[in-house]
Structure 1
Amino acid sequence: MDDTADNIDNADDVDDADILDWETTDSRIDYSCPGFDIRMDDVRLPDGTETEFHYVDEPPAVVILPFTPDGDVVLVEEWRQAVGHVNRSLPVGGTEPEDDDLAAAARRELAEETGYEADSIDEFYVAEPANGIANSVHHYFVARGCEPTAEQRLDFNESIRPVTMEYEDLLAAVVDNEIRDGRTSLGVLQYELARP
């Protein structure tokens, strides 16, 4: 019998999380700015080593795939300072501490960023997009029947232009790497794979 295969089978019986868990002995905010904090945890690794770990600490976000009654998708064009260019993406917004209803938060963020309001909105995916450096959790919603019936209400540091695009063109732009925004690519591809 192959000892390697036997060891792999036995490894499946062990709770890997217990072997790999880090112990957090202290936690504090090192730096705060609008939208997120940089948190520093004092941690003890499984081998007993004590060290520090910094990461982006931010509230959950909602990402909306908004369809108009004609089947077009409402996108936002926004300057992204970190990469130095205008980005075309799905509307995304951070939640507030009082946001118990994520669907309501998604409706609010859609209206604030684009001026569009939805007839219906349903969650279809949850992701941790960068869990090696951030505690971000993104909740993806598909919104239908979106009409420009609200007024944009942008934050002081947002420059956003709403645009519409046919869904098939959006999907092609993601597949062809013309749209490089990670949240948008993930949302569109997950929607495409999961839709009936």
Structure 2
Amino acid sequence: MSDLIWKTLSSEYLFKDNWLKARKDRCERADGTIIDPYYVLEYDDWVTALPVTEDGKIILVRQYRHALGEVCIELPGGCVDASDAALEDAIRREMLEETGYAFETVHYLGRTSANPSTNANLMHMFVATGGKRVQDQDLDQNEEIEVLEVTFEELQQLIDEKRIVQSMHMNTIFYALRYLDKLGYK
């Protein structure tokens, strides 16, 4: 398999901003073929969770997503910050900020990639249980988030109606439902 790994001969940043960097690489395959240019987008790693309250409700969020021009139903989550000591700290912080809920347990489900051919970051997936509202939302300046509490049946209906379009959040939902033994196949 190591013969499939490319060697990076050079790398040049074309754009750098707060949460996005774009670079152009010059690469060489094991057979000597040169790939030039190869563009890579660098984002911070992301975290997301399927949060379940102590009374068995699922917490979802609704927010406007400008790239699509739509209000989307999603899971809470966001970027891993430099101040986060661990991935679990990042998802606990994001859930608290976006929803006002804190959770007894947080279980790591794995990682996924939005597009491993162009994106250099990962989404880390969690399931959180025993949630309780402990504060008001503490949103970033550009965030307007509506918190939704739904039953497992209502989540299934949202899935059936294809109302959750964020593909990595659907991955998290799948792994979380599997972990919680709530996954039914039709």
**TM over 0.5, yes or no?**
yes
Q: Secondary structure at the match of 1:147?
A: strand
TM superposition shift of 1:50:
4.2
TM-score (norm: length of structure 2): 0.87
Which residue in the other structure is 2:59 paired with?
Answer: 74
In 1, Cα distance between the equivalents of 2:68 and 2:171? 19
Q: Kindly indicate which of the two structures has a greater share of residues assigned to strand.
A: 2
1:95 aligns with 2:95: no
**Mapping of residues 41-120 of structure 1, within 5 Å:** 41-46=25-30, 47-120=32-105
**Bigger share in helix:** 1
SS in 2 for 1:86: strand
1:165 and 2:150 are equivalent in the alignment: yes
Structure 2, unmatched stretches of 5+, are 182-186
| Counterpart-to-counterpart distance in 2, 1:32 and 1:121 | 33
Aligned mates of 1:29, 1:98 — CA distance in 2: 25
**Matched letter for residue 180 of structure 2:** R
Residues in 1 aligned to 2:23 and 2:153: alpha-carbon distance in whole angstroms: 40
How big is the shift at 1:114? 1.2
Indicate which of 110, 118, 130 corresponds to 1:133. 118
Deviations 1:119-176 (A, max 9, x none): 2111122112311120121111111121221232222222211111112221332243
Identity within the alignment, %: 26
Matched pairs, number: 180
| TM-score normalised by the chain length of structure 1 | 0.83
Report the CA distance between 1:93 and its aligned residue: 1.0
Q: Any conservation in 1 of the 2:73–2:163 contact (CA below 8 Å)?
A: no
1:4 corresponds in structure 2 to: none
Which blocks of at least 5 consecutive residues in structure 1 are unaligned?
A: 1-15
SS at match of 1:180: coil
Residue of structure 1 equivalent to 2:133: 148
Indicate the RMSD between aligned Cα atoms, in angstroms: 1.7
> Contact between 1:171 and 1:189, CA under 8 Å: does it hold in 2?
no
Question: Alignment partner of 1:177: what SS?
Answer: coil
- 2:31 is aligned with 1:39: no
Q: Structure 1 stretches (4+) deviating beyond 6 angstroms?
A: none
Structure-2 change in CA distance of 1:69 and 1:50 (3 Å) = closer
CA distance in structure 2 between the aligned counterparts of 1:133 and 1:115, rounded to whole angstroms: 34
